[in-house]
Structure 1
Amino acid sequence: MKTIIRIRLLLLISLISALSTLAQPVKSLTQLANKKADLEQIASGFSFTEGPAVNSKGEVYFTDQPNNKIYLWNEKDEIKVFPVDGERANGLYFDQDGLLLACADYRNKLISIDQQGNKTVLADNFEGKHLNGPNDLWIHPSGAIYITDSYYHRPWWPEGQLQVQNERAVYCVHPDSQITRVAAAYKMPNGIIGTPDGKTLYVADIQDEKIWQYTILEDGSLGNKTFFAPEGSDGMTIDKQGNVYLTNKAVSVYSSQGAKLRVIEVPERPSNVCFGGKKRKTLFITARTSIYKLAMTVKGVK
């Protein structure tokens, strides 16, 4: 009897120890923001801010889509106009060569823009039909570009321009310019982000209020579709610890295991988010008519 009790006691101690070990990382992950920092409004007066993307200097480019403007922010909180017609750009992302890639909503294209304002069309159709409306993008370490192609009918579209693709889907634009449909069956795909190692992709179905996680395969296709979080998201980003940041009613932060760690309240409904600044420790938030920042204890990735 004593032997049985001793074994049970040892098992209980082992279980408590294991649970304690598992709890420690989660506890540390909840301390994401600098305790002395408050959410700061950087600027306001925009119509609808979107698409923040950080360049190699830590500057953040973002869009005011209804006014067809692209702006850039630096750590001095200066806001400058990037003097180029972004073609109603929505999601933005910088590639390895420093080119700004944009989901150009004006004519349903994915384009690249250099610092002189020269533009190149990277994708504008699939199987001979124009895309529904590229919304957001992420670039894989290989150079492959993943885009969400949703369908939000725009007032600036020509009369009669309707959804022509039979799916609201995710596409991969391969380095050789081939485009393939890699995921579909969404109500409305929107935010998209991948891990720096190029192994995992997260896709938001904003109307279905779900985030899906995929394994990125060697040929660029996606496998192992897994439910990740019970929230939709407009834009998304990720930090060095693998935490995923969602934007809906607030900024929600999830661990890579799908545990909700924190909610960052914003005065206006956020639309997108990224890490900026030279050290990538400033959380930059686009939120309707304004932009906000929050000093973080964790570093972000592009």
Structure 2
Amino acid sequence: MKTTYPFLSTIALTIFVLSCKAQQTSIVKNGAELVKVSNAYSFTEGPASDKEGNVYFTDQPNDKIIKWNAEDNTLSVFKEPAGRANGLYFDHNGNLLAAADEKNELWRIDNDGNVDTLLTNYNGKKLNGPNDIWVDPKGGIYFTDPYYQRDYWSRTAAELEDKNVYYIAPDTNKISIVASDLVQPNGIIGTPDGKTLYVADIGDRKTYTFTINKDGTLTNRKLFTKMGSDGMTIDNLSNIYLTGEGVTVFNTKGEQIHHIPIDENWTANITFGGKDQDVLFITAMGAIYTLKMNVNGVRY
């Protein structure tokens, strides 16, 4: 005769729920609250952290790049005008890379704000509008190139038929298409070991993983989750952070482990900043937010 113990099922369920809850809250610092640093902007985007943990972000409608000082929580204008910059990322030499949307270019900006234009076209055709950037451990540059019609453009159609992900090889500056067959690629981030690239196809509401080969090409495309993203970041536990309706965090298996609600109509982008890379820095509509974390961003 089989004996059953109904209370054990209740205990098991309780343990499961508590375990899930613990998993969800463990990445956020105990007692930490979301802090609205400022809402003085029109539309914030493209946060990128330098080696000191300061975060640079864009206010695209007002054509500015703003610097958040990690030491004293102050804000200052780094560059204005800023080529209608969207996504930002620092290279290994401390230069700020910018997806300069005004003329569909890719910029490299030094500490004094001087601009070196890295890219203006692909095979003689104007880029759609570089959006987000990631730099691999070797210094190669990946960027997404969707098409969003801008009111400050004179053109009304794309010159390139496809919306691709491109790679600029280090040293040679050779540019190549490494991912295509995407509706509207947007957010992009790679693992610190340089082996895996995550690309969000926000137009198709999907995020994919790719294997990064030694020459920078991508293979082994796999669906990571049925959710797109505007911007993306990764922590030291390899969790992936997607944006849109707040911030949604996934583990490496593509399982959602946490959600950070943001009281804004849209959450555009995200990165880690602060001296110890334990401050989640979030851009959402005209505002920026910070949140203390138990996990850290990753640096080379």
> Larger deviation: 278-287 or 26-35?
26-35
Aligned with 1:31 (options 9, 26, 33): 26
Cα distance in 1 for partners of 2:193, 2:56 equals 24
8 Å contact from structure 2 (residues 63, 80) kept in 1: no
Q: State which drifts further: 119-128 or 206-215.
A: 119-128
Shift of 1:28: 4.7
- Corresponding residue to 2:294 among 283, 294, 297: 297
Report the counterpart of residue 135 of structure 2 in structure 1.
139
The yes-or-no answer on 1:256 pairing with 2:256 is no
1:116 Cα deviation after fit: 1.3
What residue in structure 2 maps to residue 154 of structure 1? 150
Partner-residue secondary structure (3-state), 2:242: strand
Residues 1:222 and 2:218 are matched in the alignment? yes
List runs of 5+ in structure 1 lacking aligned partners.
1-19
Match of residue 46 from structure 2: 51
Measured against aligned partners, the alpha-carbon deviations of 1:145-202 in whole angstroms (never above 9, x if no partner) come to: 00000000111112x3520111101000111111000011111100000000000000
TM-score scaled by length of structure 2:
0.90
Letter in 1 for 2:147: Y
Q: Distance in 1 between matches of 2:190 and 2:220?
A: 15
> Within 2, Cα distance between the matches of 1:137 and 1:187?
18
Aligned to 1:14: none
Q: 1:241 aligns with which of 230, 237, 241?
A: 237
User: Structure 1 residues 276 and 264 mapped into 2: Cα distance closer, same or farther (>3 Å)?
Assistant: same
Structure 1 match to 2:12: none
Equivalent residue, structure 1, for 2:270: 273
CA distance in 2, matches of 1:25, 1:46: 37
Amino acid at match of 2:110: D
Residue-pair matches, total: 280
Alignment pair present for 1:74 and 2:69: yes
Distance across 2 between alignment mates of 1:208 and 1:167: 14
What is the TM-score when the length of structure 1 is the normalising length?
0.89
1:288 aligns with 2:269: no
Secondary structure, counterpart of 2:152 in structure 1: coil
Would you say the 8 A contact 1:123–1:173 is kept in 2? Answer: no
Q: Determine whether 1:164 maps to 2:146.
A: no
Among 212, 225, 229, the alignment partner of 2:208 is 212
Q: Does 1:185 align with 2:181?
A: yes
**What is the distance in 1 between the residues matched to 2:83 and 2:234?**
27
CA distance in 2, matches of 1:168, 1:295: 36
Deviation at 1:124, TM superposition (A): 1.5
- 1:215 is paired with a residue whose SS is strand
Query: After superposition, what is the alpha-carbon deviation per residue over 1:64-94, rounded to whole angstroms, capped at 9, x for unaligned?
Result: 0000011011232201110343200000000
Whole-Å separation in 1 of the counterparts to 2:94 and 2:20: 35
The answer for the alignment partner of 2:3 in structure 1 is none
What percent identity do the matched residue pairs reach? 48
8 Å CA contact 1:243–1:254 kept in 2: the answer is: yes
- List runs of 5+ in structure 2 lacking aligned partners: 1-14
Summarize deviations over 1:101-144 as a string: whole Å, max 9, x none. Answer: 00000000011001111111111211111111100010001111
Q: Note if contact 2:89-2:98 (Cα within 8 Å) is conserved in structure 1.
A: yes
Q: Distance in 2 between matches of 1:60 and 1:113?
A: 15
Partner of residue 11, structure 2: none
How far the C-alpha of 1:27 sits from its partner, in A, is: 5.7
Q: Report the AA paired with residue 97 of structure 2.
A: L
Question: Which position in structure 2 is the counterpart of 1:124?
Answer: 120
Alpha-carbon separation, structure 1, partners of 2:270 and 2:254: 19
The Cα RMSD (Å) is: 1.7
Distance in 2, Cα, partners of 1:259 & 1:27: 15
Q: State the alpha-carbon separation in 2 of the partners of residues 243 and 29 from structure 1.
A: 12
